[in-house]
Amino acid sequence: MTLPHGYLIRPFESRDLARLQQITVDSFEGVSIDRNMEREFGAFGEGTWADRKAAAIVEDCRVQPDGVFVAVYSAETEVVVGYITTRLQRVSRIGWIPNMAVDPAHQAHGLGHALLDHAIGYMREQGMEIAKIETLEQNPIGQKLYPRLGFVPIARQIHFAMRLDSPDDHPAD
């Protein structure tokens, strides 16, 4: 896929990490499982949903840094405006995309599509046979974009949660 004018995709560099975390927080407000749990149960753990989601990006970059790619605006300024993370499961030959986000100010320019194309190409080069990505029901962008790229729904999963620090919050069996 040809990138919109001025944008390019390059491998992740450690100097990108803080920006990836900020893009994550800016992009996942309405589509984060942890955010959903905070709405239901109130605060829990250390930090907020945003802190936990930003920490997940740190983990993606630690576990498979060569499978993280960033979209930048302008080769000269290298302003990071989006990213995609991948994990390769060599035994099963499944490539997984755990996280992807585009700065809201740069959305609707085809960057999500370009990042997915790039990640899929990377997975093919690495010998993966299947690519998988997940999205929440409340993420209409993902539900439209992923099928356009050839992803097909395989199963629906329901996430259940309960507080463990307040035993009176749930009924006895």
pLDDT one-digit tens code per residue, 93-137 = 999 999 999 999 888 888 999 999 999 999 999 999 999 988 877
Domain extent for 25? 7-166
In a domain, 173, yes or no: no
In a domain, 47, yes or no: yes
pLDDT one-digit tens code per residue, 3-39 = 767 789 999 999 999 999 999 999 887 778 888 888 8
In a domain, 172, yes or no: no
In a domain, 171, yes or no: no
C-alpha to C-alpha distances, 53 to 33, 80, 95, 104, nearest whole angstrom: 9, 18, 21, 17
pLDDT at 163 over 90: no
In a domain, 74, yes or no: yes
In a domain, 145, yes or no: yes
pLDDT at 165: 85
pTM: predicted TM-score of the whole model, two decimal places = 0.86
Domain count, the chain: 1
pLDDT one-digit tens code per residue, 52-78 = 999 999 999 999 999 999 999 876 678
pLDDT at 173 over 60: no
C-alpha to C-alpha distances, 76 to 6, 8, 72, 106, nearest whole angstrom: 10, 11, 10, 17
pLDDT at 1: 54
pLDDT at 146: 84
CATH number at residue 20: 3.40.630.30
C-alpha to C-alpha distances, 145 to 67, 108, 153, nearest whole angstrom: 21, 11, 12
Asked whether the CA dihedral 157, 162, 164, 165 is positive or negative, the reply is: positive
